[in-house]
Structure 1
Amino acid sequence: MAPSTAHAAPRRPFGAVLTAMVTPMTPDGAIDLEAAQSLARHLVDEGNDGLVLNGTTGEAPTTHAQEKADLVAAVVEAVGDRAYVVAGAGSNDTDHAVRMAEQAADAGAHGLLVVTPYYSRPTQEGLYQHMVKVAEATDLPVMVYDIPGRAGLRIAPATYERLAEHESFVASKDATGDVASALKLIEATGWAWYSGDDGLLLPFLSVGASGIVGVSTHVVAPEYAAAVRAFDAGDHAAALDLARQVVPVVDALNGAGAQAVMAKAAVEALGLLGNRHLRLPNVQATDAEAAAVRAALEQAGVFDRTAHARDGVRPQNTAQPEPAPEVAR
């Protein structure tokens, strides 16, 4: 059998490996901006091309407008031009989502993440109008977020095609788990496509996706970045080996469906945060849950790699991210 060959890399308007970053908090529940800046710098050092703030993993449902804006401004200041900062502007109230988009732009975000309106379950026409109104509130490029498991509604192919006619929409974070649909939608829209499920990076890359917006990338970004580079180079066996290496971490952080909870336990275990506090209705991982997360990190060799990084050996960022759009800088 002939070996795999390299192929042209897909579009990457926000890079290839992005983390849906947790929002650090003090034990009394305040947003810890200093800790957020430190964590953001670490994530970029570890190989993330971008950070998604104020999303589900960032506990957006329980943080408030000024807190969200302050977080974006702090992280943009911390990472500078080294990474894209994409800000969540998601709500089931369109006017609220518009205000979040405007505040994110004012705070220096490079792009927006706009999720399907949840709970209200609008028609596809309502969904389309919601997305367009939020997109038109700023000049920032938009990544739509299709997550029917949380939103209760999936973006229909015809709606994707309508959105693709609008120049603001450039990417999708796809958490449908439907790789076959992604293959068709990537061609139909011309967008960059990002896996919204940690365990599906390679299947999505195989149909032309750009990369991942992940949770496990808090702690295994170097492996994900290396997997993308290997896949781009046509070394699919190496990419598969790297994907297998991080399975314990993917399972530990995503298996219970409490990604924010387990991600905070993981970064605390690595000494990147001083606590794992969350706001209700989320509660922090129990000691037993935190121990299970720590065991998964040990199994994947994360502690050894992190120690090397602290000694000055840093991974490279993912290859071939696109230059940031002028409106995003």
Structure 2
Amino acid sequence: MTDFGTNLVAMVTPMRPGGALSEPGLTRLVDHLLATGCDGLVVGGTTGESPTLTETESARLVRAVVAQTGSRARVIAGVGTYDTAASIRRAREAEAAGADALLLVCPYYSRPTQAGVIAHCVAVADATALPVMLYDVPARAGVAMAPATLAELAGHPRIRAVKDAKGDLFEAMTVMSRTSLAYYCGIDELNLPYLACGAAGLVSVVANVAADRTADLIRAVREGDLTKARAVNDDLIPLTERLMRSGPGTVAAKAALAELGVIPHATVRLPLVEATTS
């Protein structure tokens, strides 16, 4: 867990009108996330609009977040793409920019075989000295990481965790029981059951605006107080529903952060469009 933290946020990427990166927005967002209880910042992941970020922008974001964060939290850089060579470049750039760890999504669109998934992940993990969190998200990638694939990848010395957005709790428990992989829930709607089943922590979109409450949830489960954990979860349900069920989480999280005054604009890049009030 020290490789990544426990209360991780899938951080949005603040942008100015027109789509350029917003340095003031980034500074304020990082300070907000650290003040509200995040101990891991995932930069340039799905919620950070990774498919629209150039390699230069991704490295710039990591560098800026590392400088702002210091030793207060772990910085995990999203480096996965559908192109292994590009993913390796991003991984090396993230390492040079000071990232503490990497988030590596299952390669999307190409729908590789499980052998291809393994070869891709090993190639990226071999490219740096940083610990790697795999990101298993078949709804976006078009292919899932099979349990046997995860078990094989767990043998790599730097592949140490999984962000699970598959939602198969029995499979997650099975892999946890058979490997040393630390599991992180990547579906905010299922944070409580994943934690109760042994997940090491969360990678949360909701934590952009409520990291203090996700921290409370983690703490309650760790202390074995499931009554309190259910109460915290119940309190979070309306916010989680609003952020995760009304459209893309990125759009809703940026709108909420702008409404709270944390970031100056709710700008997203196409093909995403900003939330409307209608």
For the aligned pair, the TM-score class normalised by the smaller chain equals over 0.9
Q: Which amino acid aligns with 2:75?
A: V
Sequence identity, in percent? Answer: 46
CA positional deviation for 1:191: 1.3
Q: Which amino acid aligns with 1:102?
A: R
Which of the residues 36, 48, 53 maps onto 2:38?
48
Q: Is the 8 A contact 1:142 1:171 kept in 2?
A: yes
CA positional deviation for 1:256: 3.3
Q: Is the 8 A contact 1:13 1:192 kept in 2?
A: no
Q: Which amino acid aligns with 1:101?
A: A
Which of the residues 210, 219, 222 maps onto 1:232?
222
Q: Is residue 2:56 matched to residue 1:66?
A: yes
1:231-266 deviations in whole A, cap 9, x for unaligned?
A: 111111001100110111111111034011111001
Q: Which residue of 2 aligns with 1:306?
A: none
Q: Which amino acid aligns with 2:56?
A: Q
Q: Which residue of 2 aligns with 1:201?
A: 191
Q: Is residue 2:240 matched to residue 1:250?
A: yes
Helix, strand or coil: the match of 1:268?
helix
Q: Which residue of 1 aligns with 2:138?
A: 148
Q: Which residue of 1 aligns with 2:122?
A: 132
Q: Which residue of 2 aligns with 1:294?
A: none
Q: Distance in 2 between matches of 1:171 and 1:219?
A: 25
Q: Distance in 1 between matches of 2:178 and 2:2?
A: 17
Q: Distance in 1 between matches of 2:28 and 2:168?
A: 35
Q: Which residue of 2 aligns with 1:279?
A: 269
Q: Which runs of 4+ in 1 moved over 6 A?
A: none
Superposition pairs for residues 287-302 of structure 1, below 5 Å?
A: 287-288=277-278
Q: Which amino acid aligns with 1:249?
A: L
Gaps of 5+ in 1: 1-10, 289-329
Larger relative contact order (Cα-Cα within 8 Å, sequence gap ≥ 6): 1
Q: Distance in 2 between matches of 1:188 and 1:233?
A: 24
Q: Distance in 2 between matches of 1:33 and 1:135?
A: 30
CA positional deviation for 1:202: 1.3
Q: Distance in 1 between matches of 2:277 and 2:56?
A: 32
Q: Which residue of 2 aligns with 1:79?
A: 69
Which of the residues 207, 212, 215 maps onto 2:202?
212
1:136-155 deviations in whole A, cap 9, x for unaligned?
A: 11000000000000001010
Q: Which residue of 2 aligns with 1:90?
A: 80
Q: Is the 8 A contact 2:3 2:100 kept in 1?
A: no
1:251-288 deviations in whole A, cap 9, x for unaligned?
A: 11110340111110010111001111111111111123
Which of the residues 144, 148, 160 maps onto 1:158?
148
Q: Is the 8 A contact 1:12 1:210 kept in 2?
A: no
Q: Which amino acid aligns with 2:270?
A: L
Q: Is residue 2:261 matched to residue 1:264?
A: no
CA positional deviation for 1:12: 5.1
Q: Which amino acid aligns with 2:65?
A: V
Helix, strand or coil: the match of 1:220?
helix
Q: Which residue of 2 aligns with 1:192?
A: 182
Q: Which amino acid aligns with 1:268?
A: A
Q: Which amino acid aligns with 2:250?
A: A
Q: Is the 8 A contact 1:76 1:109 kept in 2?
A: yes
Change (3 A) 1:97 1:181: same
Q: Which residue of 1 aligns with 2:157?
A: 167
Q: Which residue of 2 aligns with 1:181?
A: 171
Q: Distance in 2 between matches of 1:67 and 1:213?
A: 22
Q: Which amino acid aligns with 1:231?
A: V
1:298-319 deviations in whole A, cap 9, x for unaligned?
A: xxxxxxxxxxxxxxxxxxxxxx
TM-score (norm 1): 0.83
Helix, strand or coil: the match of 1:144?
strand
CA positional deviation for 1:64: 0.6
Q: Which residue of 1 aligns with 2:102?
A: 112
Q: Is the 8 A contact 1:12 1:192 kept in 2?
A: no
Larger displacement relative to structure 2 (256-265 or 92-101) = 256-265
Q: Which residue of 1 aligns with 2:89?
A: 99
Q: Which residue of 2 aligns with 1:316?
A: none
Q: Is residue 2:39 matched to residue 1:33?
A: no
Q: Distance in 2 between matches of 1:121 and 1:274?
A: 38
Q: Is the 8 A contact 1:135 1:142 kept in 2?
A: yes
1:52-80 deviations in whole A, cap 9, x for unaligned?
A: 01111101111111111011000111111
Q: Distance in 1 between matches of 2:6 and 2:16?
A: 31
